[in-house]
Amino acid sequence: PLWLSVGGTLYNYQIGTKEKRALGLAQWFPETALEIHPEDAAPLGISEGDRIRLTSRRGQIETQAKISSSIARGMVYLAPSFYDIEVNSLLYPEFNAPAGTHAYKACAARVE
């Protein structure tokens, strides 16, 4: 499995309620995509724009792939700002005592 990191983007933050209605922003960031390093994508046969499935112990989602060398090898990144992709269904709701919060930003996941 790879390590999934979840966070915002320059164009979208949180669930995208306002951003999705802003046509100017939608031109720059119309849909979320799973960013994956080229060396992780190649053995899986994943190319730019391919539809992929991302699976964790808690659930699975489908989105498109974005090949990016700006993401570290062994990690994937996804912005959660889209209604049709329930990123939180992949994450673990357990409380992380040392951090003092729930684990809503990362988990192990498999890309298919």
Query: Where in the chain are the domains?
Result: 2-111
Third-level CATH fold of 2-111: Barwin-like endoglucanases (2.40.40)
Query: Could you report the per-residue pLDDT of 63-84, keeping only the tens digit for each?
Result: 899 999 999 999 999 877 665 6
With beta carbons less than 8 A apart as the criterion, state whether 105 and 75 touch: no
pLDDT tens across 50-63, in order?
999 998 888 888 88
User: How far apart, in Å, are the Cα atoms of 87 and each of 19, 23, 75, 98?
Assistant: 17, 23, 16, 23
The percentage of the chain sitting over the pLDDT mark of 90, rounded to a whole number, equals 31
**pTM for the structure as a whole:** 0.75
Q: What's the residue count for the chain?
A: 112
Beta-carbon contacts of residue 43 (< 8 Å; ≥ 6 apart): none
pLDDT of residue 105: 74
